[in-house]
Amino acid sequence: MTENQKDIVWHHATVTRTRREALNKHKAVNLWFTGLSGSGKSTIAHAVEEHLHMMGCRTFVFDGDNVRHGLCSDLGFSMEDRSENIRRIGEMANLFLQAGVIALTAFISPLEKDRQKIRDVVGGDHFLEIYCACPLAICEQRDVKGLYKKARAGLIKNYTGISSPYETPEYPDLRLESGSESLEECVEKVISLLRDKGIISSLTP
């Protein structure tokens, strides 16, 4: 706690997370999609959100590129800035959970310690780590932005999978073989996980 935080007191609202979840008819959770660039994180997250939205769930997707246009526009791609980027997203996702929303976050988040910090912030029962496992060769084939090509040529520094490490989750809540499984298969596995965890009702269409 910093000196400036000593006089700050958390205000407890009368409309609680439990009441919001009851109104939404589902629990709040953070679906944390992690994996290399090109592994399908954002594509799967948005497809899952579309599915949940059609089921009547309250959702929001935090996409890696999108948040760097605003919330994290002051950050670069050093390991320190990447950790701060993830910290901010975790805190924001936690606020969305308090609002009773299913928060889907699609970030490379290469370091295990950073992902663990988010789990600690939102609470282990409300954090589901989804690892999009995709071979680097396939990620490079999907390189529509040409970023891997630039990284290979040394034009981009600290690029995950090329010049910067990615620490594979040892015990993710769900592992998607996003290099070989179809988008539909990946979405169905995520929805099944949410049903199994009691986040959404087994009776929800």
Q: Which residues are catalytic?
A: 109
The candidate with the shortest Cα–Cα distance to 105, out of 122, 94, 89, 119, is: 89
| Kind plus residue range of the DSSP H or E element containing 95 | helix 79-98
Locus of tokens 């954090």: 127
Question: Where do we find the tokens 């089921």?
Answer: 55
CA–CA separation, 81 and 11 (whole Å): 30
Between CA 33 and CA 172 the distance in angstroms is: 10
To 5 degrees, how large is the angle CA 70–CA 74–CA 75?
Answer: 110
Q: State how far the alpha carbon of 180 is from the alpha carbons of 33, 101, 133, 200, in Å.
A: 17, 30, 9, 27
Read off the tokens for 154.
Answer: 């040394």
| DSSP codes, 180-194 | TS-HHHHHHHHHHHH
Tokens for 96, please give them: 């969305």
